[in-house]
Structure formats: structure tokens, C-alpha cells
A and B are shown apart, each in its own frame.
Chain A
Amino acid sequence: MAAACLRLVWLAPLLLGLVDGGRAEPPRDALREELVITPLPSGDVAATFQFRTRWDSDLQREEGTDHYFLRYAVLPREVVCTENLTPWKKLLPCSSKAGLSVLLKADRLFHTSYHSQAVHIRPVCRNARCTSISWELRQTLSVVYDAFVTGQGKKDWSLFRMFSRTLTEPCPLASESRVYVDVTSYNQDNETLEVHPTPTTTYQDVTLGTQKTYAVYDLLDTAVINNSRNLNLQFKWKSPPENEAPPVPFLHAQRYVSGYGLQNGELNTLLYNTHPYRAFPVLVLDTVPWYLRLYVHTLTITSKGKENKPSYVHYQPAQDRLQPHLLEMLIQLPANSATKVSIQFERALLKWTEYTPDPNHGFYVSPSVLSALVPSMVAAKPVDWEESPLFKSLYPVSDSSSYFVRLYTEPLLVNLPTPDFSMPYNVICLTCTVVAVCYGSFYNLLTRTFHIEEPSTGGLAKWLANLIRRARGVPPL
């Protein structure tokens, strides 16, 4: 221990000098990176990386944003894989050479049970009057490691077990590089989770409406990366936690298609408010492709068996092959309830060239987007965004009593009536053509009566004979 302190003394001036040098002239490119690790009692562990890069821009901020040009698009079919990670990593200032990004090793990141990756880019004001702006690029990656698959049943984790790498050095371009470990005790006992090495500082905060405690490791602090030049965080559960489900969030949702057959169906979205006593509104945004023809009059919203009238509905009907349906509603969710939003649809017949190469796979319907201000259990302090950790901005707090949540439900897979694009289909087409050609002549035959026309011979003689016959009362020839 003493040796370590000694070395600290040696190193400190060097490091301070570096940092001071950086501060003397604020860098145009500023990187903040952080990793939040949340071990759960079930043995799963979630890791969220956040990287924020800012650079100045010469662009002037326009007065007011014209929302007419706001666009929203979804590609529900896309599954994230390695080819999404590689270009994403290249956007990072240190690529994957130093800092937290050394942990981004594809084979381990995709060996997880949940994977989410995001890129946000937006202009931010550089001063109070907003005369000049900077661009902010924020990259987020969240993964959840599973005790059953990746953990082989063990509930203790370390950075090496998760990423098969350890942290060695901070990214030289980073102005802040931190690892937060959620050490909130789930029981009333003092501590259930043991973290090694022991954190020097902790950070207390209100996240998602609950009080959380984080152990903080600052990579720019030389004491953290020790003399062996690597940091391998290890978490051990002291008392083996019970196999219990994690607490249910206040707002969660589920979406499914009901009905069977290829003609009609119903889109259902179940919105759960599990808050024991507070109701809150939620904004539901649905975009449905045009080939599901929505029957808007069948839109029903029921909570606790009663009809729930939305306070705001905006519906923009689809145009075939041009734009999807857009349905936006503001729904009040009563406390401790499940609200069912359902709307019926009819499946349209596509032109045969409009089917995807794998038509029998089905067609995707994009997820509903739920935006809500969820009431929190603990009052949160107003925060200064620049000073607080990056993950705070995942769930922005507008006032102390609620926090903002945006949820995406699962996408849906709907089967459309699909012709059989195969040999029997061709045979049917051919047969129909033949039948259509034959039909005319057969119909002609069946509806026509045939008479044998005798050649008219002996015109005058016959006329005379008939005259006589008529006089006699005998039928004419």
C-alpha cells in the first residue's frame, strides 16, 4: 500500500501537468466516455457504454426549427450484427485502441442476450445566446449478459469474463473516462455486492425514480489503473441472491397481432402502468405500413374494462405505395392498470412484384413508440447536465417528480396473402389461361342450338303447295 502511495506522488505532477495543459486551451474535440455496469440479483449483468464527442461548427443556428421537415422512419426488419458494430466503432476518436473502447470486442458483445446500439447527432448551443453551435455525436451501446448462456450459471462477473479484455489505459483524447458500477443494495443489509478493487469514490443519484449508488472508477486517475497497467473489475454477490424476478418497471408494454387467417386481424398494444397510485399520460406513436388497411372506426382503448377516451388523436391515413398510416394518441393510463389499444386491419393484396424475396417470412410492422413522463418514487434534484454523468441524460428529468421514458415495443411479423411463387403457381396460371381460351368456345357450343338448314329448292312450287295445304288445313311444308 505504501509503495503504491509513493508511486502516486511520483506520477501526480506528470498527470496534473497533462490535464492542466489540456485545460489551458479547451480542445475543439472533446470526448467523454463512460461505462455503467449494473449487476442484477438474477445473475444477469447489464453494461452500457456511452461516448460523447463534440466539435465546433461554423454553422449558424437558424431561428426556430421548422417541424414541417421532421421525418421519422423505421426499419423494423434490421437485426444488429457485427457489420453494424465495426463502422460504429470507427466513429470513436480512439477507435478501439485505448480507453473504454478496448472492451468492444465483437465476439463477446454479440454473445449476449440483449444488444442495443445507437448513434445520436444533434447541434448544441455553445453559449447562452446560442450564437454559435457545436455538433454533438453521442454513441450508445447496451448489452445484457445472461447468467444462463454467457455466465454458465455463475453469478459472479468480472470485466474479463464479460468482454475478455481488461482496461489498460485511458483514451488520450478523452476529457473524462469513467466506469460506474451499480452497487445499490437490494436488501436492507449493508452490502450484498462486493466490488474489487475497492472504489475510491461513490456517486449517489436518482435514476428511473429510485435511489442508486454507484462505485466510480476514473480511468484518468492513475491510482485506478495500477502498476500492472490493467483494471479488471470484479463483482461478487456476498450472499447468493434469490432467484427472483427484478422489480417490474412502472411503464412497460407489449404488442401483438391477434386473429387468424389471411384476411383480417387486429393490432393490439398492451400498456401497463404498475405504479400503485399515480396515473400518467403516455404518447403512443404508431406507424403501420399501407398494406395493412386500418379500420380506424374500430380503434378501441380500454382500461380496467372501461373505455378510455384518448385526450388527443392524430391520424394520417396511408396512401398506397406512398406513405404509411400514422396514428398518434395521448392516453391517460390509470394507476395500477393494463390498457389495451386495439385496431382492426385488413390485409391488402400486393402486386406480384411488390413482394419481398422471402414473401412467406411475413411483413414487419414497426414498433409502437411510447413516450411518457413516469412519476418517480424519490424526488430528484435538478441537475446540471454538463456536470452529471452521461447516463443521466438517458432518462432526462424535467421536474423533480417524474422522469422521461421512451419505450419501443416489439416489432410485429404479419403474414400477407401470398401467391405460391413456384411451379404449381405457374401451372395454375397456365391452366387458367387454357381454361379462359377454351371457355369461350365451350360456352358458345352450350348456349347455341343447332338447326340443319335445308337448301331452299323449288321456291314457287313450294309456295303453291303451301297455299293449297293451308286451304286444306294441313301444316305447311
Chain B
Amino acid sequence: MGLLSDPVRRRALARLVLRLNAPLCALSYAAGVAWFLALAFPPLTQRTYMSENAMGSTMVEEQFAGGERARGWARDFAAHRRKAGALPAAWLERAMRSVGLEVYTQSFSRKLPFPDEAHERYMVSGTNVYGILRAPRAASTESLVLTVPCGSDATNSQAVGLLLALAAHFRGQIYWAKDIIFLVTEQDLLGTEAWLEAYHDVNVTGMQSSPLQGRAGAIQAAVALELSTDVVTSLDVAVEGLNGQLPNLDLLNLFQTFCQKGGLLCTLQGKLQPQDWTSVDGPLQGLQTLLLMVLQQASGRPHGPHGLFLRYRVEALTIRGINSFRQYKYDLVAVGKALEGVFRKLNHLLERLHQSFFFYLLPALSRFVSIGLYMPAVGFLLLVLGLKALELWMQLHEAGVGPEEAGGGPESSPPLQPAQSVGLASLVAPLLISQAMGLALYILPVLGQHVATQHFPVAEAEAVVLTLLAIYAAGLALPHSTQRVVSARAPDRGWMALKLVAIIYLALQLACIALTNFSLGFLLAVTMVPAAALTKPYGPRCRLGYWPTVWCPWGCSSPGSEKLCLRPGLPMSSFLEGTALVHLLLAAVRAQPHRPQRASAGHWVRGLETTHTDLPWAQPHERHGGRQSAG
């Protein structure tokens, strides 16, 4: 406090921030990236541990022995599916009823925004079949879900077989305290989403589906199973859900403990777990896994059907059976036993899974990085924007205040007023325009798709891309058309104020994104921060080269390229980010021919002050510049 309230020290600090701004920015950026890369190394990664007391030990005796039954059902299912060409709902219904479940079906259809690549069709319809195992004596208030998604190809038959065998085994047990729903969905994720929406009686994606006849209370946890072979060499676990949501870490811990108990080989992102964390190799391998996870999470797409459950506050993960060229293979019994253990433990839950972490990164299955440890990485990156904003603020401020401090009389106060009025009033129009551009990017591609296909000979998918390109092309003209607004009287102050607002806005947006989806926030920050910090207009025409920094967070939330059109609140389409960046670069390149020699950041302040000496208000600047060079 004393540091800031003492004007002399305050001035010294301000001078320090101004003079060392570029090195500080570079240092902060490097620190952010280095911190992120260090996340996979032991002091920052911790061992996972089970927080939920109800699932504390793996002391359950798995008795599942229905491997032969599972294979039989899988064969039958595959045969019936081949014959029917779709999900054999009637056969499945009969099979589920024969093991004693309460069986219901749900039919759904959805018009796709783009035709299906494989079949050139818009209307997708299917039937979900689910059976409910009612827990004896419980009042159907809670349930668990085991789901198998079935696509149009002939995969996942073994998963259906295993599901039926597990259902038959579970049905004969007396210890269930929660209902168990065995769900087989058609059309992969589309079916899962249709079922979830019908179960919660909401319509988020414009799906047409028949209402569900049977329900089983609040779903506590879900496991999705994908299995296409009779034997597996390893099980891969997927946790990343819609918009980068993650299930509670305890669910993953639970699965991992049962993998260890059954001696199963479990992988994450298809990578084996490193054994040795003391040498460099282990963490390096962990870093690869972590990077893959960050990419997967940043995409915002669910990495399996479990991802759709997370929106409804149902902790879920997907388990995929992998059959590769390894010596040791496990049959369905081993997988079934692991699942049985997981379900029996989930059955013990007294509360929803809430004890452990919801925000984490995983360098390996048994190691995690908590939110407290990874947030500094993005914090350092955003500090660059903060420093830049501080510098701009001081420059704007000292442009008015500096002469006064240097001993000027009352004549120095008038320039302060126009500077502030330029700074605030003129910013409204460009900000509104850029927000409108962002909104257009979010809405127009999907809205304009029909119009485009009616009037132009283009396909739907092309129409969206073309609309996006058109908006960006219009965006290129923006600096030109709005430059007048800013450069009326005080061009330098104008763009500095605009850049100040844009940078703060960007920092806030990135911070919000990083809170909800760290990976997306971090990737955006890594790519956008240097561009946003370095962008600077040269010459009269490219004053507003940093426009895209204002739009981009808007653009990032466009659902346009989502094929499923699940309409997430904040999905990232890498395409949009890419175009926004390209746009930034374009602006920078266009800036080059005018004054190429001013590109380096080191000349930033000096360059500013010497460029516009011919302007009427440049008087205090010169003084200021002189004072600076003298100091």
C-alpha cells in the first residue's frame, strides 16, 4: 500500500513497468508456457486418491462368470443386426425381457443440419432400447446407467453381449440399492442425446422423440462401454465431455482401482502409463498424454457417449476395449468383472460423487494435476495482457499528466479532457460493431444456410463455410470503414484507448473460458496473447488491426461447424479460431508495407512518440518523449 500511495515510489514503479514492459511480457509468456510444460513433472502432478468414503476399498467379490453367454448374445446380436440393417430393437427387447428387466423403447428422429457423409441423408431416426433393473425394496429414486452406443457399422456387438450378460448377472443379486438402467442407443451419440433429453423431459437440440414410459429417478453415475472384439488387450478410458466438462475424479479412480485389482491394462488417450516417475522418461510420456488430453478437451466435443451425460450432472466415463498386438489378452469375463466391481461400488454411494476434483488434467491414469496447480499457467499468459494494458493506460494517462508532473502550469490540463472524451465516446461504436460481428459469426452461418442453398448452387456444408468467409471478408473492410470514428482528432490516443479496452476485454474473456474449459482457454491464450500484445497500427489505413481480438471469443462460441449441432454453450471450433488468427496475421501483414522498421517490440514506446510529431496535439508527447530519453 505504501508503495502505491507514495507518489515518488509510484512514479518509479510506473517508470519501471514502462521501461521493462517488453522483457516482462516476454518473461511472463515464457513462464506461462514453461509452467504448462512442467505440469507433467512430479512436484506438480500428484498421485490420485479416492476421496469418497463410500467407495473406499475394492473389497467386493466379483462373481461375474457370463463370458460364454455374453459371446453368444454378441453373435446373435451381430447376426440380427446384419439381417435388419439397423438396431434389432425387437430382438433386444426380447433378450432384455428374458433376463428379467423392465424393457422400454424410445424412437427418435432428428434432421441433421448437414447431410450425413456416408448416406447423404438429412433425417436420421432410430430406436433406443433400455431395460430397468429395479432395485429390490428401494423406491426408484436413484439409478445408475450402463450404456452401449450402436452406430450404423457393425461395431459394439460384444459390448451389447456383455451388457446383456451383466444384466442377467445383476438381476440375480439382492444387494442393489439403486436401479440400474441398461441402455442400448442407436445412431451413436444422437441416440444417447435423444434418450437423455427424453429422460429429463427437455428439448435442447430440437430432437423429435417419443416420451419415455419408464424412469428410475435421479441418475447418479453412468458408464458407457465400447467393445468390438471378443478379447481385448487393454481398456482405454475417455473422460472429456461436452464443452470440456469432466466427470468427478473419483469415478476415474474407481475404475482404475478395479483395473489394478483385475490386472487389466488400462490406457489413457491410448497411451500406456509410465511406471517410472523419478527419471525424465516417465514425465515426458505423461506430458504427451497431457497434451493429447488438452487437445481433446479444447475441441469441446464429447470424447464418447459419456460426454453427453455430464450436462445433466451425471458423472460418466467411456470405456473402450482395444485389441492390439500384445501378448496378454483378456476375455469378456475380465472386463465384466471390472464393470461389476465398479457398479457395486457405485451402488454403495450415499451421495452424488462430489468429494473429489471436477477440474483436473491427467498426465497418466494414476496421476493428476489439480486446478490450483494448472491455473498459474494461464494466469502468466493473461498477465502479459495485463502488463500491456497497464502500459497503455500509463501512456494514455501520462500523456496528460506527465507535463503537469514535469512542472507545467495549468495549460496542461486542457489536453487531458479531449483525450478522455476521445477514449470513451468514440469507443462505443467500434465495440458495438465488433460485438455485432461476433454475434453474426455465431448466428448467421446456421441461419443463412437455407437462404444460401436456395439462391446459390452450393451444398449446406459449403454454405456455412462460405458464410463464415463472407463475414470475415466483410471484417477485413471494417478497419477501413470505422477508422474515421477513431482518428478524428487524436489518432494515437484513439487507437491506444481502443486497444486498451480490447486487451482487457480479451483478458477477461480468456479468463472466463479458462475457468470453464482450461484447455480451450490455454490454447487460445497461447495463440492470441502474443498477437494481441504485439499488434499495433502503422500508417493511416490499418489502425484497427486488432479488431479480431475483440471478436474472437464470440467466434469461438459458434456452433456452426458442429455436425451434430448439439448446441453447446461454448464449443470451440478450431476452424473459427484459425480464421480469427489468420485475420490477425493478415492485419499485421497489411501493416508491414507502410512502416516495416517499426515491428520490433523494443522500439514500441519510442516509435509511438516519434511518428506523429506533425499532429497538433503532439506537443506534450514530445516533451514526454524528451523526458523519457533524458531519464
- Residues on A facing B (Cβ under 8 Å): 76, 79-80, 110-115, 146-150, 152, 243, 254, 256-261, 266, 268, 358-362, 364, 410-415, 420, 422, 441, 445, 450, 452, 475
Are A410 and B351 in touch, CB under 8 angstroms?
no
Known: A79-B137, A410-B141. A266 touches B201 (CB 8 A): yes
Q: Which residues of A contact B202 (CB under 8 A)?
A: 258-260
B111 in the interface, Cβ–Cβ < 8 Å? Answer: no
Q: Kindly provide the distance from the CB of A152 to the nearest chain B CB, expressed in whole angstroms.
A: 7
B311 in the interface, Cβ–Cβ < 8 Å? Answer: yes
Q: CA separation between A150 and B171, bound complex, in Å? A: 10
Interface 9-residue window, one of B1-9, B323-331, B427-435, B594-602: B1-9
Are B351 and A361 in touch, CB under 8 angstroms?
yes
Of listed B214, B352, B410, residue having the most chain A CB within 10 A: B352
Are A410 and B355 in touch, CB under 8 angstroms?
no
Are B215 and A415 in touch, CB under 8 angstroms?
no
Are A411 and B352 in touch, CB under 8 angstroms?
no
In chain B, residues 199-253, which have Cβ atoms closer than 8 Å to a Cβ of chain A? Answer: 200-202, 214-215, 217-218
Q: CA separation between A441 and B4, bound complex, in Å? A: 11
B100 in the interface, Cβ–Cβ < 8 Å? Answer: yes
Q: CA separation between A343 and B368, bound complex, in Å? A: 43
In chain B, residues 96-142, which have Cβ atoms closer than 8 Å to a Cβ of chain A? Answer: 97-100, 134, 136-142
B13 in the interface, Cβ–Cβ < 8 Å? Answer: no
Tell me the nearest residue of chain B to A153, going by C-beta.
B172
Are A445 and B312 in touch, CB under 8 angstroms?
no
Q: Which residues of B contact A266 (CB under 8 A)?
A: 201
Please name 15 pairs of A and B residues whose Cβ atoms are closer than 8 Å in the assembled complex, sorted by A. A79-B138, A148-B99, A149-B173, A243-B97, A254-B214, A256-B201, A257-B218, A259-B200, A260-B313, A360-B352, A361-B350, A362-B218, A410-B217, A415-B313, A420-B354
Are B5 and A115 in touch, CB under 8 angstroms?
no
Tell me the nearest residue of chain B to A441, going by C-beta.
B1
Are B200 and A149 in touch, CB under 8 angstroms?
no
Q: Which residues of B contact A364 (CB under 8 A)?
A: 141
Q: Which residues of B contact A152 (CB under 8 A)?
A: 172
Tell me the nearest residue of chain A to B314, going by C-beta.
A260
- Residues on B facing A (Cβ under 8 Å): 1, 4-5, 7, 10, 97-100, 134, 136-142, 171-174, 200-202, 214-215, 217-218, 311-313, 350-352, 354-355, 409-410
Known: A79-B138, A114-B137, A445-B4. A147 touches B100 (CB 8 A): yes
Q: Which residues of B contact A452 (CB under 8 A)?
A: 7
Q: Kindly provide the distance from the CB of B97 to the nearest chain A CB, expressed in whole angstroms.
A: 7
Q: Which residues of B contact A422 (CB under 8 A)?
A: 355
Q: Kindly provide the distance from the CB of B64 to the nearest chain A CB, expressed in whole angstroms.
A: 16
Are A450 and B350 in touch, CB under 8 angstroms?
no
Tell me the nearest residue of chain B to A410, going by C-beta.
B140
Q: Which residues of B contact A359 (CB under 8 A)?
A: 351
Q: Kindly provide the distance from the CB of A420 to the nearest chain B CB, expressed in whole angstroms.
A: 7
Q: CA separation between A445 and B217, bound complex, in Å? A: 54
Q: CA separation between A149 and B201, bound complex, in Å? A: 32
Q: Which residues of A contact B7 (CB under 8 A)?
A: 450, 452
Contact for B137 among A80, A147, A243, A256, CB less than 8 A: A80
Q: Which residues of B contact A147 (CB under 8 A)?
A: 100
Q: CA separation between A98 and B134, bound complex, in Å? A: 34
Q: Which residues of A contact B215 (CB under 8 A)?
A: 254, 256
Q: Kindly provide the distance from the CB of B440 to the nearest chain A CB, expressed in whole angstroms.
A: 28
Q: How many A-B residue pairs have CB under 8 A?
A: 93
Of listed B173, B354, B410, residue having the most chain A CB within 10 A: B354
Are A411 and B139 in touch, CB under 8 angstroms?
yes
- Chain B binding surface SS class: loop
Contact for B1 among A268, A414, A445, CB less than 8 A: A445
Q: CA separation between A404 and B100, bound complex, in Å? A: 31
Q: CA separation between A416 and B140, bound complex, in Å? A: 19
Q: CA separation between A149 and B173, bound complex, in Å? A: 6
Are B136 and A112 in touch, CB under 8 angstroms?
yes
Are A358 and B138 in touch, CB under 8 angstroms?
no
Are A113 and B200 in touch, CB under 8 angstroms?
no
Are A358 and B172 in touch, CB under 8 angstroms?
no
Are A113 and B137 in touch, CB under 8 angstroms?
yes
Tell me the nearest residue of chain A to B357, going by C-beta.
A424
Q: CA separation between A422 and B51, bound complex, in Å? A: 12
Known: A361-B351, A413-B217. A445 touches B137 (CB 8 A): no
Of listed B141, B218, B313, residue having the most chain A CB within 10 A: B141
Q: CA separation between A412 and B216, bound complex, in Å? A: 10
Q: Kindly provide the distance from the CB of B587 to the nearest chain A CB, expressed in whole angstroms.
A: 33
Are A413 and B141 in touch, CB under 8 angstroms?
yes
Are A475 and B409 in touch, CB under 8 angstroms?
yes
Q: Which residues of A contact B410 (CB under 8 A)?
A: 475
Q: Kindly provide the distance from the CB of A377 to the nearest chain B CB, expressed in whole angstroms.
A: 24
Are A149 and B352 in touch, CB under 8 angstroms?
no
Q: Which residues of B contact A358 (CB under 8 A)?
A: 350-351
Q: Which residues of A contact B174 (CB under 8 A)?
A: 111, 149-150
Q: Kindly provide the distance from the CB of A306 to the nearest chain B CB, expressed in whole angstroms.
A: 16
Are B139 and A410 in touch, CB under 8 angstroms?
yes
Q: CA separation between A112 and B98, bound complex, in Å? A: 19
Are A113 and B139 in touch, CB under 8 angstroms?
no
Q: Kindly provide the distance from the CB of A118 to the nearest chain B CB, expressed in whole angstroms.
A: 15
Q: Kindly provide the distance from the CB of A476 to the nearest chain B CB, expressed in whole angstroms.
A: 9
Q: Which residues of A contact B172 (CB under 8 A)?
A: 148-149, 152
Q: CA separation between A359 and B171, bound complex, in Å? A: 30
Q: Kindly provide the distance from the CB of B81 to the nearest chain A CB, expressed in whole angstroms.
A: 23
Q: Kindly provide the distance from the CB of B428 to the nearest chain A CB, expressed in whole angstroms.
A: 23
Tell me the nearest residue of chain B to A42, going by C-beta.
B100
Q: Which residues of B contact A259 (CB under 8 A)?
A: 200-202
Tell me the nearest residue of chain B to A244, going by C-beta.
B97
Tell me the nearest residue of chain B to A257, going by C-beta.
B218
Contact for B171 among A114, A148, A360, A412, CB less than 8 A: A148
Are B200 and A450 in touch, CB under 8 angstroms?
no
Are B5 and A258 in touch, CB under 8 angstroms?
no
Contact for A79 among B10, B139, B355, CB less than 8 A: B139
Of listed B100, B313, B355, residue having the most chain A CB within 10 A: B100
Q: Which residues of B contact A258 (CB under 8 A)?
A: 200-202
Q: Kindly provide the distance from the CB of A47 to the nearest chain B CB, expressed in whole angstroms.
A: 15
Rank and list the top 4 A-B pairs by shortest CB-CB distance, nearest first.
Answer: A258-B201, A360-B351, A148-B100, A113-B136
Q: Which residues of A contact B137 (CB under 8 A)?
A: 79-80, 110, 112-115
Q: CA separation between A420 and B215, bound complex, in Å? A: 29
Q: CA separation between A258 and B174, bound complex, in Å? A: 29
Q: Which residues of A contact B98 (CB under 8 A)?
A: 243
Q: Which residues of A contact B354 (CB under 8 A)?
A: 360, 420
Q: Which residues of A contact B217 (CB under 8 A)?
A: 256, 410, 412-413
Q: Which residues of B contact A260 (CB under 8 A)?
A: 200, 202, 311-313
Tell me the nearest residue of chain A to B410, going by C-beta.
A475
Q: CA separation between A258 and B10, bound complex, in Å? A: 57
Q: Kindly provide the distance from the CB of A448 to the nearest chain B CB, expressed in whole angstroms.
A: 8
Tell me the nearest residue of chain B to A148, going by C-beta.
B100
Q: Which residues of A contact B141 (CB under 8 A)?
A: 364, 410-413
Tell me the nearest residue of chain B to A422, going by C-beta.
B355
Q: Kindly provide the distance from the CB of A256 to the nearest chain B CB, expressed in whole angstroms.
A: 5
| 17 further A-B pairs in the complex, CB-CB below 8 A; given A111-B136, A256-B215 | A79-B137, A111-B174, A146-B100, A146-B136, A149-B171, A150-B174, A256-B201, A258-B201, A259-B202, A260-B202, A358-B350, A360-B352, A362-B218, A413-B142, A415-B218, A415-B313, A422-B355
Q: Which residues of B contact A149 (CB under 8 A)?
A: 136, 171-174
Tell me the nearest residue of chain A to B411, going by C-beta.
A475
Q: Kindly provide the distance from the CB of B67 to the nearest chain A CB, expressed in whole angstroms.
A: 19
Q: Which residues of B contact A420 (CB under 8 A)?
A: 354
Q: Which residues of A contact B350 (CB under 8 A)?
A: 358, 361
Q: Kindly provide the distance from the CB of B103 to the nearest chain A CB, expressed in whole angstroms.
A: 9
Q: CA separation between A413 and B141, bound complex, in Å? A: 6
Q: CA separation between A238 and B355, bound complex, in Å? A: 55
Q: Which residues of B contact A450 (CB under 8 A)?
A: 5, 7, 10
Q: CA separation between A410 and B135, bound complex, in Å? A: 13
Q: Which residues of A contact B97 (CB under 8 A)?
A: 243
Tell me the nearest residue of chain A to B171, going by C-beta.
A148
Q: CA separation between A80 and B137, bound complex, in Å? A: 8
